[in-house]
Structure 1
Amino acid sequence: MTAPPGLDLDRLGAWWGTALPGSGDRLSAELVAGGKSNLTYLVTDGTGRWVVRRPPLGHVLATAHDMAREYRVISALRDTAVPVPATYALCRDESVLGAPFYVMEWVEGRPYRRAAELAELGVQRTRAIADGLVDTLAALHEVDPDAVGLGDFGRPAGFLERQVRRWKKQLDASRSRDLPAADELYARLAADVPPESGAGIVHGDFRLDNVLVADTGTDAIVAVLDWEMATLGDPLADLALMLIYHRLGSTVTDVAAAPGFPSEDEIIARYTASSDRDLSHFGFHLGLAAFKLAVILEGIHYRHLHGQTVGPGFERIGDAIHVMLDAGHTALKEHR
């Protein structure tokens, strides 16, 4: 079997037998569809199935694809109310795949990215899935980082100010063109950083297609995936980013358009029922979320221009950035 890009099956197999005793070392693999940053593979020895995660090929922004951090946070959350896959092994030896990687459990479930997929389920099931998504986010934000060994996972104090600076730095590292709207949005954010709502674990890219929903008919959230940007900070960043995804519709995911999917106000109300965080400066959080998403897409656009992306669907990423930036400028006018 031909190995997918970024996965040398001979080298992986030689490492595999030692790292996962009891499994075979004659492996086959396929690139899992979806995801435009870290690469995810389904690996099998003919009997068992696992997931391997590694950074993207080529140009990689500093700290943006830290496998050890991702592995650590998933492992720490194993015994909490947040559903995550089991983790099995972390490899820091870059001679195996050319980059650090880790192995985790293959969880049976389905991600939903499009409203049409939810529409097939009907209004009641769509509402149940969306409510479960919000409840899972609230549960994550209620986890005490110290209690799960993540007290040093980030620096919560000054999180918002650092986020503004960080995403500007990431933008500068991936520039391939002039983006005056991005520079203006950065300046507006930097000039008006609000007080923070309190510290917690931040997923960094929380949305419906980054979780798996049980395919057994229960519609429960069975796994939260894609923890590559997790840290400690102001959890309202997660809520804001999820809502920005919804506002942008078909640009990334249009699930919010599905019949039965709760409105933005309903999502916020359900979240705040489990949280006493202050949302009076939520417009800033929405603006920062749009800026962050624009920068992430610009990084993907940069890698696509340099032939360093894997899979289809990258040719229009560059155009989507302008929509994100416009959304950010609009959001800064909002206050709740």
Structure 2
Amino acid sequence: MSTEPSPTTIPDVDPQALRTWLSAIGLDVEGEVTASRVGLGQSNLTYVLRDAADGEWVLRRPPVGHLLASAHDVVREARILSALADTDVPVPRVHGVCTDETVSAAPLVVMEYVSGAVLSDRSVAEPISASTRHEVGMAMTDVLARIHAVDLDDVGLADLASHKPYAPRQLKRWSTQWERSRTRDIPAVDELTRRLAASAPEQTETTLVHGDFHLRNVMIDPATGSVTAALDWELSTLGDPLADIGSSLAYWPEATDTVLRGEPVELMDGFPDRAGLAQAYLDRTGRDPQALKFWYTLGLWKVSIIAEGVVRRAQENPANRAAAGVPTAEHVDGYVARAMAAAADAGI
């Protein structure tokens, strides 16, 4: 039986007050507004809102229950999207941010509905040709390069986060998250933390970093493979751009990996493998391939910690479960094993 909210229910939101607020921010709302949970996300909850005249908008809210400090900040996410609205980074436009507790117990962000497809499962990707699937991968590396080329002063994001070296910041943040969210001891995670701290490459530039860039966090044009919107900016910060492509590679499965879903979209004919994605990004940007090996290892370490956090949130409140299911100990251990192998390959 599904544990998702019903199609007309957003946790802790007053439907009539929401409709009134939508009208107050200038949206032309007709009749009743219904909400449907979308996506396979395990973190912030995403809904499509529809009115009686087929108007469509997207709403984001934090997950239900216990939240770790600094996590799931949809107001901050809205700031980033608004800052990028007039750049060449494809993002949805933000209509409004609601912090009125008479409408919702948690902050809400409402943004435009962008046309395109999220390749969340094979049924969505099957109609797309193999050559277009390849273009999806190449387009993703291109969008990452565009994100990393954003002029922080021009868009008003220079103060988004610290400009101190990113690796120590990431290691501190995710080590803290690990201590607060883990459900068991995994000595290899602690060993990787020590080894990564001792091996961080020198950071030579500071850019905008998406922080969670993978196939299910982009919308694509099924006809061309281009990216129509980069989504889910809640982990975005300032840091080393190679961290982004490292995390993307950590999320991108290959046939021998332990994965949450039985048949990952990325293994379908046409999609590039990890080596192809890495090379495309490096060719596009000229950045250091050896430093990328470090960031790929750190990405796997971080994904292990995120997966464990998902397990904990789902245990605490079933409303946070997503359609993709919840990772098991085997899934988390699979990421940790990949991280150990990547560390060996990088000489970490």
TM-score w.r.t. the length of structure 1 is: 0.92
Contact 1:197 1:236 in 2 (8 A): no
* 9-18 or 250-259, larger mean C-alpha shift: 250-259
- The aligned counterpart of 2:209 is 202
- 1:238-274 Cα offsets, whole Å, 9 max, x none, are 1011111124656157333222222333222221222
- 1:75-109 Cα offsets, whole Å, 9 max, x none, are 11111111111111011233421111111001111
Residue 251 of structure 1 pairs with residue 262 of structure 2: no
Contact 2:35 2:47 in 1 (8 A): yes
1:46-61 counterparts in 2 under 5 A? Answer: 46-47=52-53, 48-61=55-68
Give the distance between the partners of 1:132 and 1:286, measured in 2 at CA. 20
1:175-190 counterparts in 2 under 5 A? Answer: 175-190=182-197
- The aligned counterpart of 1:3 is 9
Mark the CA change 1:311 to 1:258 in structure 2 (over 3 Å): closer, same or farther. Answer: closer
Q: Helix, strand or coil for the counterpart of 2:289?
A: coil
Q: CA deviation at 1:186?
A: 1.4
Contact 1:304 1:315 in 2 (8 A): yes
Mark the CA change 1:328 to 1:150 in structure 2 (over 3 Å): closer, same or farther. Answer: same
- The aligned counterpart of 1:279 is 289
Contact 1:301 1:314 in 2 (8 A): no
Q: Helix, strand or coil for the counterpart of 1:223?
A: strand
Give the distance between the partners of 1:67 and 1:268, measured in 2 at CA. 30
- The aligned counterpart of 1:13 is 19
Residue 298 of structure 1 pairs with residue 308 of structure 2: yes
The equivalent position to 2:98 in structure 1, one of 85, 88, 91, is 91
Give the distance between the partners of 2:203 and 2:260, measured in 1 at CA. 28
Q: CA deviation at 1:6?
A: 4.4
The equivalent position to 1:168 in structure 2, one of 150, 171, 175, is 175
* 286-295 or 163-172, larger mean C-alpha shift: 286-295
- The aligned counterpart of 1:40 is 46
- The aligned counterpart of 1:79 is 86
Q: CA deviation at 1:281?
A: 2.5
Give the distance between the partners of 1:133 and 1:183, measured in 2 at CA. 32
Query: Unaligned stretches of 5+ in structure 2?
Result: 1-6
* 277-286 or 15-24, larger mean C-alpha shift: 15-24
The equivalent position to 1:327 in structure 2, one of 318, 335, 338, is 338
Q: Helix, strand or coil for the counterpart of 2:140?
A: helix
Mark the CA change 1:64 to 1:278 in structure 2 (over 3 Å): closer, same or farther. Answer: same
How many residues align structurally? 335
Q: Helix, strand or coil for the counterpart of 1:146?
A: helix
* 178-187 or 79-88, larger mean C-alpha shift: 178-187
Residue 289 of structure 1 pairs with residue 289 of structure 2: no
Q: CA deviation at 1:176?
A: 2.2
Q: CA deviation at 1:200?
A: 0.9
Identity %: 36
TM-score w.r.t. the length of structure 2 is: 0.89
Residue 263 of structure 1 pairs with residue 273 of structure 2: yes
- The aligned counterpart of 1:138 is 145
Contact 1:91 1:101 in 2 (8 A): yes
The equivalent position to 2:231 in structure 1, one of 221, 225, 239, is 225
Mark the CA change 1:250 to 1:6 in structure 2 (over 3 Å): closer, same or farther. Answer: farther
Give the distance between the partners of 1:247 and 1:324, measured in 2 at CA. 10
- The aligned counterpart of 2:3 is none
- 1:13-32 Cα offsets, whole Å, 9 max, x none, are 23222123533473211111
Contact 2:212 2:232 in 1 (8 A): yes
Give the distance between the partners of 1:234 and 1:43, measured in 2 at CA. 36
Q: Helix, strand or coil for the counterpart of 2:252?
A: helix
The equivalent position to 2:245 in structure 1, one of 220, 239, 242, is 239
Give the distance between the partners of 1:106 and 1:183, measured in 2 at CA. 41
- State the superposition RMSD in angstroms: 2.2
Give the distance between the partners of 2:27 and 2:58, measured in 1 at CA. 16
The equivalent position to 1:65 in structure 2, one of 49, 66, 72, is 72
* 241-250 or 95-104, larger mean C-alpha shift: 241-250
- 1:191-223 Cα offsets, whole Å, 9 max, x none, are 2222124211111111111111124x2332111
Mark the CA change 1:75 to 1:315 in structure 2 (over 3 Å): closer, same or farther. Answer: closer
Q: Which amino acid in the other structure matches residue 268 of structure 2? A: A
The equivalent position to 2:37 in structure 1, one of 27, 31, 34, is 31
Give the distance between the partners of 1:29 and 1:221, measured in 2 at CA. 25
